[in-house]
A and B are shown apart, each in its own frame.
Chain A
Amino acid sequence: MSLLSLLIFLPIVAGILILLLPSAWQQRYKYVALGAVLLQMLISAYIYINFDNTLSGIADQSTFQLVERIPWIRLNLGALGNLEIDYFLGIDGLSMPFLVLTSLVMLVALLASWDIQKNLKGYFALFLLLDCAVMGVFSALDFFLFYIFYELMLLPLYFLIGMWGGVRREYAAIKFFLYTLLGSVFMLLVIIGLYFSVTDPETGGHTFNMLHMMNPANYAQDSIFSVIAGQEIFGVSARLLAFIVLFVAFAIKVPIVPLHTWLPDAHVEAPTPVSIILAGVLLKIGGYGILRVCLSIFPDAAIQSAWWLGLIGVASILYGALNALAQRDLKRLIAYSSISHMGFVLLGIASATSEGISGAMMQMISHGFLSSMLFFLVGVIYERVHNREIPNFRGLALIMPRYTVFVMIAFFASLGLPGFSAFIAEAFSLIGAFNSQSINGLLPRWMAVAGSVGILLGASYLLWTLQRMFFGETRLWGGDEWKAKLTDVNGREVFALTSLALMSLALGILPSLAFDKMNASVLELIQLMNIR
């Protein structure tokens, strides 16, 4: 059993253990989960340290690392040939950073779950199942396996929001579930189409192997997605259509404007730890999917649609930021700011330049740390007074000084203060987008300039919030009762927040910690996009 399988199934083992433990021990469940998550953290740290920067991955199995490929399902379907599904795992520079991110975000989310009271057995079991599914998505290289993990994420999330959420939790959970399912159902059609188009060069049978799908030579001459045949569906190129379908599926996760409205509702209703996972990891699956699947399998269609991708990116940046500016609920404000920040990811990806894609990757990692931190911070006051309306608080800096320090770090890091990761990420996404015109002519230069307005708006809503909630003389809607409840952050909270802040700081000062690991893969991806 390789490290990746261990990473994926460790949470499941812990989850089963929790299910088996008697309910009388329910206060100890969290320690079991904590043990699993800590172990996972160690494994991913080990993977990070031993990761070979020079291997590029992307389309060549031999340059992937920690590869594990076991035949899983083999069915003779008669005339349809052999069904080949592999248990195929492996990582490259595009996926490895997310393993590290996921394990840290999971740890923080677990620390945020410390005071959950309701139905602990179910909560921690679902939490760990989610952990497993996310790790699986980032390591799977067989499209069928990828899809299984992808769909497996929905189940625990649905229950976690629907059972442990806020007042309108059922609405939010159903909305989230149906919205994402809508995207992935059509994805399944494309997967099946790809399966019938691609043959394994070794066995000659059809395959779900994603790496084979990236090589145009593996497509049957007259198959639906063949590059040469140029088949059409409803008068649209089949490959373009498939790209759009896959893009929409992942874009819902990112989310992009206008497919974003599930996100604010889900965040507002979800309990703090689920918000942390949602913003910290799940949104990144959208961006990762676009890179791993849309760009790598359909590079021709990606180039063709780059202009639109860039436009959607810019629209998300500006629209998300404007909406954030209009919020009164702190959590909803941060949810909209996520939309704005994820817009940079799309803009960077659309540029198809090494700066842009590296910037987009960096932005995903950085946003993973920072949005986790932000949602954790919202959770801190919500846990204490069950309220998070911005106008209900004033002058918190006087009664919660340490908390205010963390809020300032998180806010300034998010608005792109140099020294923190978001600055590097946004700067390079924009530089890449601007450079695109000179390098490959995909994006017009005004897009980068328009996108940069987002960093001004970002500063506006965050600073305005700081001014309204934290500065000035203390005045609280709940009066002295709130004042007594609003205690400063405790040790557990300080630990979680500090580790996130340090990660962001480390990446901001030494971007090479991430850039060096992913550079070979990014270059290989651009190479792949330019070949065809």
Chain B
Amino acid sequence: MDTFTKETISLLALIATLLPLFSFAGILLVPGSRDRGSFFSILNIATSLLISVVIFLNVWNKQPIHQQFDWFIIGDWRFKIGILINNLSALMLLLISFIATLVHVYSTKYMEGDPYIFRYWAYLGLFCFSMFGLVITDNLLLLYMFWELVGFSSYLLIGFWFTRETAVQANKKAFLMNRLGDLGFLTGIMIVFSQFQTLDVNLLFSEGGFFKRSLVQGDLWYFSSNHMPAVWLTIAGLAFFFGATAKSAQFPLHTWLPDAMEGPTSVSSLIHAATMVAAGVFLIARIYPIFNPTVLIVIASIGAFTAFMAATIALTQNDIKRILAYSTISQLGFMMLAMGVGAVAPAIFHLVTHAFFKCLLFLAAGAVIHELHHLKDKKGLDFDHQDIRNMGGLRKFMPITFITMLLASLALIGLPFTSGYLSKDAILIQSFEWAESQGSIARIIPYTALFASWMTAFYVARLIFKVFFGELRLNVLFGQAFSLHEAPVAMKSVLVVLAIFCLFPLFSLNPFHASHAWIIEGLPYFSTTPTVESYHILIPAVVSIAAIILILIGYKWYGKNEKAPDYTKAAVFRFSQEQWYLNRLYKVMFVDSVLGLARTAFSFDRTIVDGIVNFSGKIIIVLSAVSEWLDRKVVDGLVNGVASVARTIGNFVRHFQTGRLQHYLLFMILILLTFFVLKYFSQAI
């Protein structure tokens, strides 16, 4: 396998990336029947998977591959783009292609019969292309481009059923919130470019890269001949983190993810649980040297808080997908916390393990939803097929779905012998160690996460017991005995494969300790916190024992159909069920206020800005009316006046011209008389 040259591997990576794009273009541009595309896209994604395996074997723990070529020239600056495959990106490539292939297979049955299914395959292709591009590119601008394209394909898939009002509201919300985060990303790019004149990830962030060589002295941040105020280094870190916050659904930009569950469940599984939402975590790992201690503390706090907040919300939700969505947010919070405390490798490790068990949870939930939906259609009933209050006792009808989902749940809770145990406890241990070295207030952070982890145990237990134990509550609701079926083979087999990945052996030979897990060993450790040996035993023990107690309580309340205590009236319960009222708050604070501002701007534009224009137009019209009046009455009046004087005189004189001889004689005599009279008097004088 070592025979491949660098060029071949980059070419292979390029092919693996472009194949799904080929599905996208091929399905949309070549006309055909409406159910076309499934075979074509599965073929392409499977080939991508094979290539990813080859790449992984050739890159993992070996020399990273970096190939570049020119894209364009702007000013004096040659813009290069290329492919950078190190352990991190090889791992991501493999993970994404593997899960995507499984989800493709699952979708053949799950989406069967949809009237527009060819669009589904095409959009999935676009998504996979963007995601692959995101992980292999070596350039921040290109990373940003794929980052946005990932958001765009997510938009298309959330709104796949575009006639549903809730779906198109949700995809708009998702895109806009991600756009908001993208502003942060873009700001970060601008700062980095301005300081270093390059966006090459390798140059900037490698060992001895530009970031390592730049230094902060006093208030200024220097790199070779450039400098800018040091605060921009912090802003850059915060800006990139803000971008990651949106994509990885961290507080305060997490509210789009639960709504995104309007998309098909297979999409939720691939995009909104396993891969895309992890892109924020990936980004942070890729550009880790940019974060200074201030930013890292912010990341850790936000991560821990998100983990806690999302877990409290998941406790009371009734929509099966919504519970899982909040659980995803919570787990992403753990990853962010890990990043903040310097546990980069455990964060990525958790990203990988989480991808498998969360994908499985969603696909199993999808199987349940699929069967209930089927029942609903067949019997013509009306109930919410995603509401766990309508389920119950499903383990009898769907044993394989039950067992696989149970395994995934145990991994999510983090009980021993599962993959989740390894990765989550690694994070918790390191956050406690970090808090130890930081001092008193920082201790709140790992404790918050610890609480979140306990709550996870409880809400997962609630979910499993309500769905799979007890009696099918639909029977009670409609007063007849329904029977359900196990999911079809295409779906079932995918669940089984994923279940294998929820167990420890694939990740670490030691089921109790993650430090020799191959993923952790293969990724760089940035942490410098001292090891506290006692934590490595204490924390897993505390987490597991408490989790088991909480599961037992959950079993008592929900599994045995005993009456659970009713808290629905409590304010805390309402607060949790209403998702901390954040949606309403955002609507008032941002949506309504921006729309109000827009309306104000428009009326300002109409009345004031355009008003001035129209007003000056009117003034000119008035002025011209005045001048017209002046012209008519005064200037022309003068002319007319002269004329009319002449006419009056003329009229007057005309009377003398009568044409009668007698009159003329009379005038002559009168004139002569006057003459003589005057002459006489003048002489007398």
Contact = CB atoms under 8 A, between A and B. Distances in A.
Interface in B580-632: 594-595, 597-599, 601-602, 605, 609-610, 613, 617
A512 B191 CA distance: 24
A45 B175 CA distance: 38
A426 to B, nearest CB: 9
B12 interface: no
A522 B73 CA distance: 12
Contact of A419 (B74, B149, B172, B179): B149
B567 interface: no
Interface in B174-199: 175-176, 179-180, 182-183, 186-187, 189-191, 193-195
Interface stretch (A12-20, A160-168, A235-243, A455-463): A455-463
B605 A261 contact: yes
Nearest to A358: B74
Interface string B122-149: 0000000000000000000100111011
A9 to B, nearest CB: 35
Contacts of B75: 353-355, 358, 519, 522-523, 526
A427 B142 CA distance: 12
A172 B181 CA distance: 40
Interface string A28-54: 000000000000000000000000000
A178 B617 CA distance: 10
A516 B602 contact: no
A261 B610 contact: yes
A456 B169 contact: no
A417 B182 CA distance: 12
B190 A467 contact: no
A231 interface: no
Nearest to B116: A401
B168 A467 contact: yes
Contact of A418 (B144, B179, B195): B144
Contact of B601 (A323, A395, A397, A419): A323
Given A323-B601, A471-B162, A515 B73 contact: yes
B149 A435 contact: no
B287 interface: no
A397 B160 CA distance: 12
A431 B141 CA distance: 11
A473 interface: yes
Given A430-B190, A456-B176, A354 B613 contact: no
Interface string A428-445: 101100110110000001
A398 B115 CA distance: 12
A515 B186 contact: no
A472 B162 CA distance: 6
Contacts of A395: 163
Contacts of A353: 75
Interface in B217-236: 226, 228, 232
A217 interface: no
A423 B176 contact: no
B562 interface: no
Contact of B189 (A325, A327, A431): A431
A310 to B, nearest CB: 14
Interface stretch (A119-127, A207-215, A446-454): A446-454
A179 interface: yes
A417 B148 contact: yes
Contacts of A397: 162
Contacts of A417: 148-149, 152
B190 A434 contact: yes
Given A427-B141, A456-B183, A463-B176, A179 B601 contact: no
Interface string A319-356: 10011011100000000000000000000000001110
B175 A463 contact: yes
Contact of A511 (B72, B179, B609): B72
A66 to B, nearest CB: 23
A456 B163 contact: no
Contacts of A453: 183
A515 B601 CA distance: 36
A438 B599 contact: no
B602 A327 contact: yes
A511 B142 CA distance: 13
A456 B179 contact: yes
Given A261-B609, A459-B176, A519 B73 contact: yes
A398 B163 contact: yes
Contact of A472 (B165, B191, B594): B165
Contacts of B598: 322-323, 325-326
Interface residues of B, number: 51
A136 B201 CA distance: 46
A472 B168 contact: yes
B652 interface: no
B599 A511 contact: no
A8 to B, nearest CB: 31
Nearest to A178: B617
Given A397-B162, A434-B190, A511-B72, A452 B228 contact: no
Interface residues of A, number: 61
Interface string A515-531: 11001001100100000
B502 to A, nearest CB: 35
B377 interface: no
A416 to B, nearest CB: 8
A505 to B, nearest CB: 12
A103 to B, nearest CB: 24
Contacts of B187: 449, 452
A147 interface: no
Interface in A293-335: 319, 322-323, 325-327
B76 interface: yes
A447 to B, nearest CB: 11
B77 interface: yes
Nearest to A258: B609
A299 to B, nearest CB: 17
A418 B149 contact: yes
Contacts of B159: 471
B194 A471 contact: no
Contacts of A483: none
B179 A459 contact: yes
Question: Which of A178, A179, A448, A460 gathers most chain B CB within 10 Å?
Answer: A460
Contacts of A435: 190, 193-194
B194 A456 contact: no
Interface in A159-207: 175, 178-179
Nearest to B189: A431
Contacts of B675: none
A512 B72 contact: yes
Contacts of A72: none
A412 interface: yes
A261 B75 CA distance: 35
A502 B73 CA distance: 22
Nearest to B180: A456
A179 B614 CA distance: 11
A419 B145 contact: yes
A464 interface: yes
B367 to A, nearest CB: 28
A319 B601 contact: yes
A418 B194 contact: no
Nearest to A458: B179
B71 interface: yes
30 contacts: A178-B617, A257-B609, A261-B609, A261-B610, A319-B605, A323-B605, A355-B77, A397-B162, A418-B145, A418-B149, A434-B193, A434-B194, A435-B194, A438-B194, A438-B228, A449-B190, A452-B186, A453-B183, A456-B182, A457-B594, A459-B175, A459-B179, A460-B176, A471-B159, A471-B168, A473-B163, A512-B71, A512-B72, A522-B75, A526-B75
Given A419-B149, A455-B183, A472-B163, 17 more contacts: A179-B613, A326-B595, A358-B75, A418-B145, A427-B189, A435-B194, A438-B194, A449-B190, A455-B179, A456-B176, A460-B176, A463-B176, A464-B172, A470-B162, A472-B162, A519-B74, A526-B75
Q: Which 4 A-B pairs have the closest CB atoms?
A: A354-B75, A418-B145, A512-B72, A326-B602
